Structure formats: C-alpha cells, structure tokens
C-alpha cells in the first residue's frame, strides 16, 4: 500500500490489475476523496475511492507517459 505520497493531477500511475483493454497504465485526472483515472490505451475513465486506489497502485511515476 502506498502511503504519504504527494499525488497530483497529471501523474502517471501503474496499477496492479489490468484494465479490460489490457493496459495497466493510468493518468490521474482528479484526486480527492475519490480518484478519477484515465486509461492510456483506450482513454476510458473510471472512479474509485482513495483507499482502494492506494491499495491497488503498483508504481507511481511523476511524469506523463511519453
């Protein structure tokens, strides 16, 4: 579980589980009580509660995927 990390909008994160399209790279587009993520491959957006998000994050990268 990731804790005490300064997460910001626009950060690139890698989640433990893959999306239905096969990608596990996401872009944070909203961060508050809930977290809104956008899939890099298919551009679909999902929302999840912050505690669930923090449990499922595998890696946090500061910059956007190039």
Six token digits for residue 17: 């589980």
What are the structural domain ranges in the chain? 12-61
- pLDDT at 60 > cutoff 90: no
pLDDT value at residue 50: 93
No. of helices (H) and no. of strands (E), the chain: 1, 5
Q: The pTM is what?
A: 0.83
Q: Environment class of residue 13 by beta-carbon count within 10 Å: exposed (0-12), middle (13-18) or buried (19+)?
A: buried
Residues 6 or more apart in contact with residue 54 via CB below 8 angstroms: 1, 2, 3
Mean pLDDT computed over 24-36: 95
Query: Is the separation of the CB atoms in 60 and 6 below 8 Å?
Result: no
Mean of the per-residue pLDDT values for the chain?
A: 89
What percent of the chain has pLDDT above 90? 77
């Amino acid at each position: 579980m990731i804790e005490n990390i300064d997460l910001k909008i626009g950060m690139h994160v890698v989640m433990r589980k893959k999306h239905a399209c096969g990608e596990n790279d996401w872009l944070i587009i909203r961060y508050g009580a809930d977290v809104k993520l956008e899939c890099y491959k298919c551009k679909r957006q999902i929302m999840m509660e912050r505690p669930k998000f923090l449990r499922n994050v595998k890696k946090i990268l500061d910059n956007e995927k190039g």
